[in-house]
Structure 1
Amino acid sequence: MNILWDFDGTLFDTYPAFTLVMHDLLRERAEKKDILKQLKVSFRHAANHFNLSEEQIHTFKEKEKSLSPKMKKPFPYVENILLKANVNVIMTHKPRDEVKLILDYYHWNDYFHEIVAGDDGFPRKPDSASYRYLHEKYKLDIAIGDRLLDILPAKEIGILTCLFQNHSQGADFYLESYKDFDDIVKLL
């Protein structure tokens, strides 16, 4: 099985750390659950929702980048899937150096054949250019993400999709825990 993965909120549970940084930045003007809800749409959406200035956006990114990878743990059981897959690739908006730092920390670099990062020059999701590039190179079977934004490009080019911890309409499969991924594999 050849899998395209989103990074934040899909492979790694980074949203709690993002939420803490945003909560601190907003000086507690918003509840953490509302911050998380807005961030799960996208960072740009949250920045607009909370009327962040360019300076605040820069501050958020610098603070988030400085957090220890310990605060950005992989989801339980996801490593089992990485081990079973023939090919794993990542498509993320996160800069390559930040992805590499986290993967290095958890010794996960060898699991991935390729990473398309936010600073690689591809248009941002939901544009399908990066997905198309990875699919042409690796003949992907499924794309896994935690937001609709992550699966729309895959749907556009005909790859099966899976939403993780998100039940928004539009995915081919849904998972709450990677422990249940074998149930999806049986259906492919």
Structure 2
Amino acid sequence: MNILWDFDGTLFDTYPAYAGIFSNVLNDEVSETEVYGKLKISFSHAIDHYQLTKEQVDELDRLKEKLDPTEFLPFDQVEEVLKWADKNVIMTHKDRMGVQAVLAAYGWEPYFTELVTMDNGFPRKPDTAAYQYLHDKYNIDLVVGDRELDLLPAKALGIATCMFQGNSEVADYRLDHYRDFFDVISSEVRPRSD
């Protein structure tokens, strides 16, 4: 099975660290829990919702750069799925250096055949261009993401979708924990034998 993964909130629990620095930029006037909910929609949604100034966005960017990669924890048992898959690829709006730093911190670089990041220049999700590129190259069987935005391009291309820790009518499958992956998904979608 060839799997296309979102990064933030799907492979790694990045939102708590981002919510912390976001709350800090807002002088702790907004709880991290509230910020987390806005970030789960998208980073740009949270920036717009809280009407951050250019100075606040610049401060947010500075604080993001200072985060240690180990502050982003991998979700339990996702590594077992990565080991099981034939090929794993990532499509994310994060920058390549940030993704590579987190993968290197956990020794996970070998699990991924290709990373498509904002540095590749593809339009942002839900545009299908990056997914089409990866699907043409790797014949993707499943897309896993934590937001509907991650699944919409796959659905448009006819690729099976899995929502992680969320709800969406777009999702073919839904998981709260990766320990359930093999019961929920692999029983219906088998890895390639070629």
Superposed pair shares fold, TM > 0.5: yes
- Paired with 1:169 and 1:30, the residues of 2 have a C-alpha distance of 31
What letter corresponds to residue 187 of structure 1 in structure 2? E
The residue aligned with 1:41 is 41
Whether 1:18 aligns to 2:36 is no
Q: What's the secondary structure of 1:88's corresponding residue? A: strand
3-state SS of paired residue (2:119): coil
The AA in structure 1 aligned to 2:12 is F
Q: Does 1:181 align with 2:181?
A: yes
2:66 match: 66
Q: Distance in 2 between matches of 1:156 and 1:145?
A: 15
Matches within 5 A, 1:17-166: 17-166=17-166
Deviation at 1:58, TM superposition (A): 2.2
State the Cα deviation string for residues 61-99 of structure 1 (Å, max 9, x = none): 221121111210111100000000000000000000001
Q: What residue identity is the alignment partner of 1:55?
A: E
In structure 2, list runs of 5 or more residues that go unmatched: 190-194
TM-score (norm 1): 0.98
- Any gaps of 5 or more consecutive residues in structure 1? none
Whole-Å separation in 2 of the counterparts to 1:127 and 1:35? 26
Query: Aligned pairs, how many?
Result: 188
- Whether the aligned pair in 1 keeps the contact of 2:16 and 2:32 (CA below 8 Å) is no
TM superposition shift of 1:168: 2.8
Per the TM alignment, residue 31 of structure 1 is displaced from its structure 2 partner at its CA by 1.8
C-alpha distance in structure 1 between counterparts of 2:133 and 2:51, whole Å: 35
- Letter matched to residue 186 of structure 2: V
Per-residue Cα deviation, 1:108-163 (whole angstroms, up to 9, x for no partner)? 00000000011111001111100000000000000000011100111111110001
**Secondary structure in structure 2 of the residue aligned to 1:119:** helix
Secondary structure class of the residue paired with 2:168: coil
TM-score by length of 2: 0.95
Distance (Å, rounded) in 2 between the aligned partners of 1:59 and 1:53: 10
Letter of the 1:185 counterpart: S
The CA distance in 2 between the partners of 1:54 and 1:181, in whole Å, is 42
C-alpha distance in 1 between matches for 2:47 and 2:120:
23
Identity between Structure 1 and Structure 2 (%): 49
Structure 2 Cα separation of the partners of residues 37 and 81 of structure 1: 27
Opposite residue 38 of structure 2, the aligned amino acid is Q
CA-based RMSD: 0.8
Name which of structure 1's ranges 30-39 and 43-52 shifts more when overlaid on structure 2.
Answer: 30-39
